Every structure is written in C-alpha cells, then in structure tokens.
Amino acid sequence: MSEFTADEEKILKPFFTNLDKDIFVLRNLPEVVKGALFSRYSRTSKSIRRLLLDEFINDEKMGFKEIVAYSKEMGEDQVVATQKAEEFYDRVLVGYGDDSVAELGGAHIACENVSNIASKILEDARIGISPLEKSTRYVYYDQKVDGKYRYYLEPALMESKHADLYINTCDSLFDTYAKLLEPTKKYLSEKFPQGEESDRAYGSSIKAKSCDILRGLLPAATTTNVGMFGNGRSFEYLITRMHSNELQESKNIAGEMHTEFLKYIPSFVKRATGKYGDPTIEFLKETRKDMQKLCDETFEGIEPENKEEVVLTDYDKEAGEKICAAALYPFTFLSFEQVKAKVKSMSKEERLNAINTYQKKRQNRRHKPHRGFEHAYYEFDLMCNYASYRDLHRHRVLTQQRQDLTVKHGFDLPPEAEQIGFASEFKEQMELAKNAYEKIYPEFRKEAQYVVPFAYKIRWSNYLNLRELYHLVELRSTIHGHPDYRRIVLKMLEEVRKVQPELVEYMKFVDYRDAGLERLETEKKIDEKMKEVEKKYAK
C-alpha cells in the first residue's frame, strides 16, 4: 500500500529516484532546498517525502513552486527563484537548522586560468571539497594563446620595475620548453620503440613521458584550470581564507567565486565576508603577518642546512601497543583503559599476532588498513621539486604545512637531460630564473614565487597516521606514477621500516619497478576498457 495518493505521487515523482523504497536519491531540487530539507528532516518523525510534500510543497509561504520552477508555466526567472530560495532557507534555518546545514548542499565550480601558485591555495582544503586540476603531466605547454604563453601576469609585478624581467624570464622558460619538446619526443621514440600496443596508447605514453621530463622548466606562474565540488560550508571558509592571503590573485579569485556562489547557493556562503567573515579574514591575515615578523627576527642569519629529501623527524614509539589496542577494542565490551592494560601485559609476539590477524587478508591496495592503524603517527620533513609536490599535495587526510616556494634548496635536473643533450641549457634556465627571483624577492616576497620553475625544490612537513601512510605509499609508488614522487614515498616507507619494520610488513602493494614509459601499461588498460565500452553500447 503506497504512502501517497496518486496525485501526491505525481507531484513527488520528479524529486526522488523512487517513491516506494527506503533508499533513494533526491533530484531536481536546488542545493539550498536540499540543505534546508535535511535540516528540517533531522527534527521530525515524518519521512522525507512526506516532509517535502506537507511542509514545503503545500505550504504556500515557502514559495516552493517558484523555487523549483514547479509551476505550470515553468518560466520563473532564475534570479527571482534564487532570491526566493534564500528566503526559504532563512525561514527554515531560523526555525530548525544550524550552521552544519550548509554541509548538506553543495556546488560545482570551475576556476580557469589560475596560476600554479593559486591552484595550491584553492586545493589546500582537507575536507568538504574535491578538486581536479589540469595536469602538466599530460598537457603540452608549448603553444601560445593570442601570442602569449600561458602564465599569470601578476598585477603588482606588472606595475613595478620588474615587469620586463618577469616577462622575459617566463618567456625564456617557455621558449626552452617548446624548443626541447620535439627532441625529447624523438629521443623517447628511439629508446622505447612501439610494440604491439595501439598508436593511441603508445602516443599517449610518449607524450606523458615528454611532459614529465620537461615540466621542470615551467614557472609556478603557469596557468591551469581547477574544477571543484564541495559543500557550502567548506566553500564559505575557503573564500574567507583566500581573502586573507597576501597574494592579490588569491583575493581576486575569492571575490569572483563568492559572486558566482551568491547566484546559486547564496545562503551557504553569505558569511564568507561581512560581519562574520571580515573579522576572520583579519585574524588570519594579522596572525600570518606577526608570525612572519617573529620568524624573521628569530632565525635571522641562519641558512637552511639539511638537503635530504625525506627525514623522519618524529614517530610514535608506542605505535605497536596503540595499534593493537585500537584493533581489539571494537570487538569487546570493555573500556579502552581495560583493553590497553591487557595489551600492555601481552608479549610482543602476541601483539604482533593480533595486528597480523587484523591485516593479513589484504589482497590489493584498495583494501585499506583498518582504522586502528590511525592510532600511530609519523612526522616527516620533506623536500622535492615543486612539480612533484603538486602531486603529493593532493593527499588531504594528513596535516601538511608548506613553506614558500624558493630557489634556496636548489633544483632537480631530469635524469634524461644528459642523454638528450639539454643539461647545460636546462641549468642556464634555472640560473636565469634564480637571478630573477633574487631581484624580485626583496621588494615582492610572496610574488617572487611566480617566477620559480617547477624543478626547484620546496620544503614541507607531513604529519600523518600509519593508515594514511599505507594509502600514500601504495598509491604513489604505482608504476604509472612520476619517478620523482615515487622516490619520495618509497623513502618515507624506508624511514619507517628502519624504526618499526613490523608495522609496515603489511604494506604489500608497493611497486619498486623501473617502468621506462610509466604510462604505457595504464594506457593499454584504457584501450581494453574502451573496447569493452564500444562493445557494450554497439548498436
């Protein structure tokens, strides 16, 4: 027996994937409506379908018909609809909701032609936002658009005496990249001749390897496109945080994002600035300013010494006991203190047997270690070229803090540079960029980062639990990954292995192979999938 009459079913049908099951998806509803609906849903005994019908659709003051263009005319102006949606949301929020409702509605947004400095600021959020970015590993950057290479013209620099230096340096880096592209592709084609794989798979692999070799020449000003999906609350904080950044590009992007979100999810982002947002912006900005001043005074005259790529600076000495206790706890009715006391009295062999039972049935890297592995933490000081950092930065279930991009730590020369014959030219370009940076830096400390090529090293810290370390190492060591970041994660594993080998014993899906053409096997699999899709949908 249906819960609804025939007329009610007709009204509700457009908004749910089914009307007769316990699990369903909401559809054809603005994000603000879904957020408000769930807010009310948490405080009623009604089913969500009945709730939508009784308290929203049939309540004339809610203006539901105008919000979802539900009227017969279906011609409601979008601006008016959005305004009505905001009023609708505010009514519900006052009566039933709280700030967390903004996590129940989201949006997709595209940020195009932003620099690779700004893209990292956009992607810094750890939760609530999922970004995708155009990759320098798979896209050539040798072509000009309207007579100009694709890099960001930083406003403060363009209005300064450094404008010509900045443009000439970036142009030179791009010119060199473009010049070396064909010789690099030729070298790779000769070193790795085509086999039985398709032209598409082979060509894509050569392209990816060429990009991998040459991307170190690209300056951090190189523009990219970033697409993001996230919830309203996370976007609101991202806008606030970006407004507090010293870089004008970050502020500009924040303002433009805010404008667009106000057209679509206005109630969710309206506090990014103004009464609530502005004090937060000031707090973030002034704290950063004070800390920079304090560090300048405290560490004056001290130059960086450590040049190691990976240093394990701290780790949990009691990791074995903590993981064992956390692994056992959910399967008892005891307090955590009781479990810990029992584990402490166990022998090392008994604890290792418990951990082995907990993890031994992993069959591939997608079988994540269980949550007990989150009870042991490791702290790393990392340093690698900016190109690889951009890939490793994407891991968000950890605590990352990066320093500014600089030329102080030197750069990585691609291993193939000598064989192809461009080692000297590459080094000359790195020196050119270094000179430009050192001239710009005294006056424009933050903006100087834009001129630094991807090959230069950046330092950042990682504080992560053992479960995330498993994910990071097993994913980033796969054969199709870039050799530079594969090297970093494998060193991280070895550093932990030195102190706690028994805890990384179950990290069985780590790939140490030298791939040659890193993308080739992946491209072959893509060919197979393409054939399957063609077969599936063949008419």
Domain boundaries in the chain? 6-104, 107-298, 317-372
pLDDT in tens, 64-117: 777 676 544 444 455 566 666 667 666 665 554 556 777 777 888 888 889 999
Q: How many CB atoms lie within 10 A of CB 185?
A: 18
Q: How far is CA 503 from CA 99, 341, 363, in A?
A: 40, 21, 17
Per the document, the length of the chain is 539
- Dig out the tokens for 462 from the structure: 């990682």
Residue with tokens 């089913």: 47
**CB-based contacts of 191, cutoff 8 Å, min separation 6:** none
- Compute the distance between CA of residue 15 and CA of residue 371 in angstroms, rounded to an integer: 37
Question: What is the Rg, in whole angstroms, of the alpha carbon atoms belonging to the chain?
Answer: 27
Do 84 and 66 contact (CB within 8 A), yes or no? Answer: yes
Quick check: 29 pLDDT over 90? no
pLDDT in tens, 140-163: 999 998 999 999 999 999 999 999
pLDDT in tens, 417-435: 999 999 999 999 999 999 9
Where b means 16+ CB within 10 Å and e means fewer, 341-378 reads: eebeebeeeebbebbeebbeebeebeeebeebbbbbbb
Per-chain mean pLDDT for the chain: 89
- Compute the distance between CA of residue 401 and CA of residue 124 in angstroms, rounded to an integer: 10
**Type of residue found at 449:** Q
- Compute the distance between CA of residue 270 and CA of residue 278 in angstroms, rounded to an integer: 12
Taking alpha carbons only, the member of 304, 481, 475 closest to residue 383 is 304
Strand ranges for 116-167 from DSSP E: 129-133
Element (H, E) at 121: helix 118-122
Question: What confidence score (pLDDT) does residue 93 get?
Answer: 59
- Compute the distance between CA of residue 7 and CA of residue 9 in angstroms, rounded to an integer: 5
Taking alpha carbons only, the member of 307, 398, 322, 410 closest to residue 358 is 322
Q: How confident is the model at residue 46 (pLDDT cuts 50, 70, 90)?
A: confident
3-state SS assignment for residue 66: helix
- Give 79 or 125, the one with higher predicted confidence: 125
- 3-state helix, strand, coil split of the chain in percent (to 5) is 55, 10, 35
Question: What confidence score (pLDDT) does residue 148 get?
Answer: 96
Q: How confident is the model at residue 45 (pLDDT cuts 50, 70, 90)?
A: low
3-state SS assignment for residue 238: helix
- Compute the distance between CA of residue 383 and CA of residue 51 in angstroms, rounded to an integer: 54
3-state SS assignment for residue 460: strand
pLDDT in tens, 238-296: 999 999 999 999 999 999 999 888 887 888 888 999 999 999 999 999 999 999 999 99
Do 231 and 261 contact (CB within 8 A), yes or no? Answer: no
Residue with tokens 């009023």: 87
Question: What confidence score (pLDDT) does residue 36 get?
Answer: 72
- Compute the distance between CA of residue 539 and CA of residue 525 in angstroms, rounded to an integer: 24
Among residues of the chain, what percentage have pLDDT more than 90?
A: 64
Q: How confident is the model at residue 48 (pLDDT cuts 50, 70, 90)?
A: confident
3-state secondary structure 380-449: EEEEEEHHHHHHHCCCCCCEEEECCCCCCCCECCCCCHHHHCCHHHHHHHHHHHHHHHHHHCCCCCCHHH
pLDDT in tens, 498-532: 999 999 999 999 999 887 777 777 777 887 887 78
- Sign of the CA dihedral 379, 363, 394, 184? positive
Question: What confidence score (pLDDT) does residue 221 get?
Answer: 98
Mean pLDDT, range 192-204, rounded to an integer: 89
pLDDT in tens, 342-351: 999 999 999 9
Question: What confidence score (pLDDT) does residue 73 get?
Answer: 47
Quick check: 165 pLDDT over 60? yes
- Dig out the tokens for 406 from the structure: 């600089």
- Give 382 or 89, the one with higher predicted confidence: 382
Q: 3.40.366.10, 3.40.47.10, 3.30.1360.170, 3.20.20.100: which CATH number matches 107-298?
A: 3.30.1360.170
Q: How confident is the model at residue 39 (pLDDT cuts 50, 70, 90)?
A: low
- Compute the distance between CA of residue 297 and CA of residue 486 in angstroms, rounded to an integer: 37
Do 493 and 507 contact (CB within 8 A), yes or no? Answer: yes
Where b means 16+ CB within 10 Å and e means fewer, 90-125 reads: bbbbeebbeeebbbbbbbebebeebbbbbbbbbbbb
Do 471 and 510 contact (CB within 8 A), yes or no? Answer: no
Quick check: 533 pLDDT over 80? no
Quick check: 218 pLDDT over 80? yes
